[in-house]
Structure 1
Amino acid sequence: MTILIIQHFKDMKTTTNLYLSSMAVSDLIIFLCLPFDLYRLWKYVPWLFGEAVCRIYHYIFEGCTSATILHITALSIERYLAISFPLQSKTVVTRRRVQYIILALWGFALVSAAPTLFLVGVEYDNETHPDYSTGECKHTSYAISSGKLHIMLWVSTTYFFCPMLCLIFLYGSIACKLWKSKNDLQRPCAFGRERSHRKTLKILVVVVMAFIMCWLPYHIGRNLFAQVDDYEAATLSQKFNMASMVLCYLSASINPVVYNLMSQKYRAAAKRLFLMRQQPRQAHRGQIQL
């Protein structure tokens, strides 16, 4: 929905919405992983989809997760510049430059997730004479024994928490800026600009908070699972990871709901898109009746 709205209407193609549209693409790709996660919940062993699918599925999930957090950080920086340095940001932050930034963010996210391709695979109880009914799609024994899995987990966790600290700083600075600018709101143009900034900021804060609440358990659970060394702890960790996985997919679906609830402009665009879709159908029905 978000992608269609932003692509169909020129007035929705703002720099902020370009980031949101790209994030929607990331969320949509993450949903492609859902059938494989559902299968693993239903029947963890054996893995029936082959080595390549196992690696690519983990890689896509990791890459899109990284892309989303990078988009949120870049978008927050863009909003900080727009509010703190409005005149300079109009010349620096353009749609073309934002498109290049989005491409760079995707490239960096996909490259940084590449080690996942070599750390996961299908493993069997007896590797010498494999019994294909025991195949599991998981982190390889080599990744665990070499310590590379722990390194990747710490890199991924840093990938999450460092941007979060950056976001806290940025939104704290934006809040201070908006609070100090209250005395300048007597001017009509300043009032309109600040009102627009506040509306956009509210939406972005909700999006960021939803992202943190949905993805924080995932990173905590993944690190706990890597540290367990007994059966009871492993069972508890797996249950925690199942709950965190549900939150991850909830994060990938919640953003359009947030936009619809908080943005009147988004609701109006969604209504226009719906009417556009309905008109050809009504015209087609009318031709059939004639």
Structure 2
Amino acid sequence: MKTTTNLYLSSMAVSDLIIFLCLPFDLYRLWKYVPWLFGEVVCRFYHYIFEGCTSATILHITALSIERYLAISFPLRSKALVTRRRVQYIIFALWVFALVSAAPTLFLVGVEYDNDTHPDYNTGQCKHSNYAISSGKLHIMLWVSTTYFFCPMLCLIFLYGSIGCKLWNSKMDLQGPCALSRERSHRQTVKILAVVVLAFIICWLPYHIGRNLFAQVDDYETAMLSQNFNMASMVLCYLSASINPVLYNLMSRKYRAAAKRLFLLHQRQIQARHGQRQLCVIDHISTLNESLTGV
């Protein structure tokens, strides 16, 4: 589980898990948008964590894609260039960059009331502040967030397109009795790479469209359209956090093997504990019989 690829996957799994921790707050906002009952700190921190982990996940996908591109296009050079220590530094830098770039969210969201002078707590909403909208800082943050989507998307298209061309053209160099099976393996890899890019675009494009649409809400009809669209985009967003490990497990045989060994080890530990408990019960019964019979 300590290969460079698995380090990326493990870090991505942490990011996806943290994103799932934000799901109850999103479900509450869909169920009962007003009032917000969890306070100012939770409102700001929930938006910040979601924004930071979303950016971290996208950066991890891009970094892992670059590693795969190097491994397939320059296998000898990548072995010397990509090491566990360097990958650990890269993962740390990705997290720092994602969390720092999401920091403005802490100052752009909050609990807003219909009347700020005499706030009625039954009208509190966890949303972008009026100051963020009037100052234009919200639109700047949206542009930054949108850049987090389109730049990695273009990068993924280029990388996986290059990988696909490399694998597809390499079939001309395949020789020997196993050439057909290796050609099928290459084609299957190209298909998986295409699924990764499509899943990334399908799951995240509606999310960013919904965010920009929500920032332009100024009437009831637009608000209803934005709410319905954001519901669908939220489902796709959390679906992306679910399918990322599945897609990358399909691409990493070593990760699947390590996960299987880990699962079997856990099962063996449970069986060993169960066996120890049975032995303890048997010993206790034997001791009790001896004390009763005096033998």
| Shared fold (TM-score, shorter chain, > 0.5) | yes
Distance in 1 (alpha carbons) for counterparts of 2:44 and 2:274: 47
Q: Which whole-Å deviations, capped at 9, do the CAs of 1:148-178 have from their partners, x for residues lacking one?
A: 1111111111110111011111111112222
Matches within 5 A, 1:188-267: 203-259=192-248, 265-267=254-256
CA drift at 1:263: 5.6
Which residue identity is paired with 1:238? Q
User: Secondary structure of 2:103's match?
Assistant: coil
Describe the shift of the 1:111–1:200 C-alpha distance in structure 2 as closer, same or farther (beyond 3 A). Answer: farther
Structure 2: runs of 5 or more not aligned:
283-295
- State yes or no: 1:105 paired with 2:94: yes
- State yes or no: 1:154 paired with 2:143: yes
Matches within 5 A, 1:14-163: 14-163=3-152
User: Secondary structure of 1:48's match?
Assistant: coil
Describe the shift of the 1:206–1:15 C-alpha distance in structure 2 as closer, same or farther (beyond 3 A). Answer: farther
Q: Which whole-Å deviations, capped at 9, do the CAs of 1:235-289 have from their partners, x for residues lacking one?
A: 0111110111111111111233335566655444333322222222222222333
Which position in structure 1 is the counterpart of 2:290? none
- State yes or no: 1:183 paired with 2:172: yes
Task: Please identify the structure whose Cα radius of gyration is greater.
Answer: 2
Which residue identity is paired with 2:85? R
Which residue identity is paired with 1:79? R
Contact 1:67–1:109 under 8 Å retained in 2: yes
Which residue identity is paired with 2:120? D
Describe the shift of the 1:259–1:85 C-alpha distance in structure 2 as closer, same or farther (beyond 3 A). Answer: closer
TM-score (norm 2): 0.85
RMSD of aligned Cα (Å)? 2.6
Distance in 2 (alpha carbons) for counterparts of 1:158 and 1:178: 30
User: Secondary structure of 1:128's match?
Assistant: coil
Contact 1:46–1:135 under 8 Å retained in 2: yes
Identity value in percent: 86
Which has the larger displacement, 265-274 or 159-168? 265-274
Which has the larger displacement, 213-222 or 171-180? 171-180
Contact 1:83–1:197 under 8 Å retained in 2: no
Which position in structure 2 is the counterpart of 1:9? none
- State yes or no: 1:276 paired with 2:269: no
Which residue identity is paired with 2:60? H
Describe the shift of the 1:195–1:98 C-alpha distance in structure 2 as closer, same or farther (beyond 3 A). Answer: farther
Contact 1:203–1:259 under 8 Å retained in 2: no
Distance in 1 (alpha carbons) for counterparts of 2:79 and 2:255: 23
Q: Which whole-Å deviations, capped at 9, do the CAs of 1:193-213 have from their partners, x for residues lacking one?
A: 999887766555433432221
User: Secondary structure of 2:127's match?
Assistant: strand
User: Secondary structure of 2:203's match?
Assistant: helix
Which has the larger displacement, 205-214 or 147-156? 205-214
Distance in 1 (alpha carbons) for counterparts of 2:187 and 2:13: 22
User: Secondary structure of 2:115's match?
Assistant: coil
Q: Which whole-Å deviations, capped at 9, do the CAs of 1:125-153 have from their partners, x for residues lacking one?
A: 11111111111110000001111111111
Distance in 2 (alpha carbons) for counterparts of 1:261 and 1:76: 14
Q: How many residues align?
A: 279
Which position in structure 2 is the counterpart of 1:287? 276
CA drift at 1:191: 10
Contact 1:122–1:138 under 8 Å retained in 2: yes
